[in-house]
């Protein structure tokens, strides 16, 4: 039978309606070297303005990161990451109506942002990098995204390999989910992300997208982030700036196969892709679409 499917994803005092519609998580990288938008925001005010635009375009969650996790990237110091992220979260908290997620593996970055009002921690190490992260998430009753990554960003694409990528990633996320619960984090606060592009070959990413429904048995919201990733560049032979159509196809596939949250760069464009894909999925399941946004399109 599998686990019952989540209707809500708890994040502090919020209950995000993942059972009603697919949520758009907007990516805001405040870094000089991220693969897609590195160096785009020369100061904190530019980043804040972009975040406000993303909310206006339909973002349900803002995911703010200060350390690049692109293949080959090297870690930065705690002080540097704090200096990039904390001022932006401070300026946005209270100004936006959507929850703020902080993309970090460092407990102190998470703590400072949660103290300011962030609601979610997106940890690509799945609580393995910083021993204090689980306690921080539990203390603030934050939402948590556990991401699968083989290796570390600096070397993860050197020679990734799997016996069966879907089975291996599923087993990893099951173990990390159980570990998070054992650390005192409520299961209803945990979401899982198979980690597209994090130590994966092209065929691995395609298998994960095509078999995403396999992860439903974990009983947690499924987050997916294929936006502009390298496997699209390999498939299409296109640079990052020309991967939006490929991203649209990957996002559509993810939604049709059961994604609850999609992490994207181009919010307005992917919002349309998500809503149409969601309507197709709802139609194939013979149930009405639970989306106020679709109703607004016709009023």
Indicate which residue of 106, 176, 189, 263 is catalytic: 263
Indicate which residue of 229, 243, 271, 275 is catalytic: 229
Alpha carbons 208 and 258: distance in angstroms, whole number: 12
221 with 187: CB under 8 angstroms?
no
DSSP 179-233: HHHHTT--GGGEEEE--TTSS--HHHHHHHHHTGGGGGGG-SPBEE--TT-HHHH
129 with 123: CB under 8 angstroms?
yes
Alpha carbons 27 and 228: distance in angstroms, whole number: 11
What does DSSP say about strands 120-123 and 143-147: parallel, antiparallel, or unpaired?
parallel
Closest to 85 (Cα-Cα) out of 51, 55, 58: 51
Q: Is 263 a catalytic residue?
A: yes
Which residues are catalytic, by number? 229, 263
């Amino acid at each position: 039978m599998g686990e019952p499917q989540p209707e809500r994803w708890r994040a502090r005092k919020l209950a995000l309606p993942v059972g009603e519609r697919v949520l758009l998580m907007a990516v805001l990288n405040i870094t000089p070297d991220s693969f897609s938008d590195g160096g785009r925001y020369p100061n904190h005010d530019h980043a804040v303005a972009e975040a406000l635009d993303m909310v206006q375009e339909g973002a349900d969650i803002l995911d703010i990161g200060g350390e690049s996790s692109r293949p080959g990237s090297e870690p930065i110091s705690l002080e540097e990451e704090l200096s990039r992220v904390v001022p932006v979260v401070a300026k946005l908290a209270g100004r936006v109506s959507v929850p703020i997620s902080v993309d970090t593996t460092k407990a102190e970055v998470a703590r400072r942002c949660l103290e300011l009002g962030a609601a979610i921690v997106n940890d690509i190490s799945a609580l393995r990098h910083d021993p204090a992260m689980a306690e921080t998430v539990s203390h603030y009753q934050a939402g948590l995204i556990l991401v699968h990554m083989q290796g570390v960003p600096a070397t993860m694409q050197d020679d990734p390999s799997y016996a069966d990528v879907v089975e291996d990633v599923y087993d990893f996320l099951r173990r990390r989910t159980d570990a998070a619960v054992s650390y005192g984090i409520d299961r209803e606060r945990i979401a899982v992300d198979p980690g597209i592009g994090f130590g994966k070959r092209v065929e691995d990413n395609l298998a994960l997208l095509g078999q995403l429904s396999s992860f439903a048995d974990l009983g947690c919201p499924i987050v997916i982030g294929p936006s502009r990733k390298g496997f699209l560049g390999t498939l299409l032979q296109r640079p990052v700036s020309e991967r939006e159509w490929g991203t649209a196809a990957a996002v559509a596939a993810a939604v049709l196969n059961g994604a609850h949250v999609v992490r994207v760069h181009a919010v307005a464009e992917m919002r349309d892709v998500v809503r149409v894909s969601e309507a197709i999925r709802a139609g194939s399941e013979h149930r009405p679409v639970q989306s106020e946004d679709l109703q607004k399109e016709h009023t």
